[in-house]
Amino acid sequence: MRDSGSIFSLRRSFFSALSAAVLAAFASALHAESEGLVKSQPITNNLIPEGGTADQLAAADGFADSGDLDKAISTYRYIAKSAPGSKEAPSAQYRLAKQLNNKGEFESAFKEYQNLLKKYPQTPDFEQSVADQIEIANAFLKGRRVKMLGLRLMPSMEKAEEMYTAILKSAPYSKHAPVTQFNLGLALEKQGKAKEAIAAYQRVLDKYPNSSACASASYQIGYVYQRLGMTGKSQDLSALKEAQNNYQDFLLQYPNSEKVPQAGENMKKMVSRESADTLRIARFYDFNKDYKAASIYYNDVLRRFPQSEESTAAKTRIDELKALYGEDSLRVGQERPETGERLAERRRMQAQIETTALANYDGPPKKQIVGEEAPLPRPQMKGDMRDAQPIPLQEPPAVSPAQKTPLTP
How confident is the model over 386-395, as pLDDT tens digits? 544 444 444 4
* Dihedral sign, Cα of residue 122, residue 123, residue 127, residue 130: negative
The answer to whether 179 and 134 are in contact (CB under 8 A) is yes
More confident residue, 214 or 232: 214
More confident residue, 336 or 229: 229
The answer to whether 387 and 370 are in contact (CB under 8 A) is no
Predicted TM-score of the model (pTM): 0.65
The answer to whether 175 and 127 are in contact (CB under 8 A) is yes
3-state SS assignment for residue 153: strand
pLDDT (tens digit, 9 = 90+) per residue, 54-108?
999 999 999 999 999 999 999 999 999 999 999 999 999 999 999 999 999 999 9
Beta bridge partners of 306: none
pLDDT band at 33 (very low <50, low <70, confident <90, very high): very low
pLDDT band at 265 (very low <50, low <70, confident <90, very high): very high
Which of 137-141, 172-176, 194-198, 327-331 shows the lowest per-residue confidence on average (mean pLDDT)?
327-331
Q: Where are the domains of the chain?
A: 46-121, 278-330
| Sequence letter at residue 289 | K
In the prediction, which pLDDT does 309 show?
87
CA distance 324 to 347: 36
CA distance 222 to 201: 10
Can you say whether residue 147 is alpha, beta or left, with left for phi > 0 and alpha for psi between -120 and 50 degrees?
beta
46-121 domain in CATH 1.25.40.10? yes
CA distance 64 to 57: 11
Measuring CA to CA, which residue among 48, 47, 111 is closest to residue 83? 48
Which of 199-213, 221-235, 266-280 shows the lowest per-residue confidence on average (mean pLDDT)?
221-235
Residue 117 has pLDDT above 90, yes or no: yes
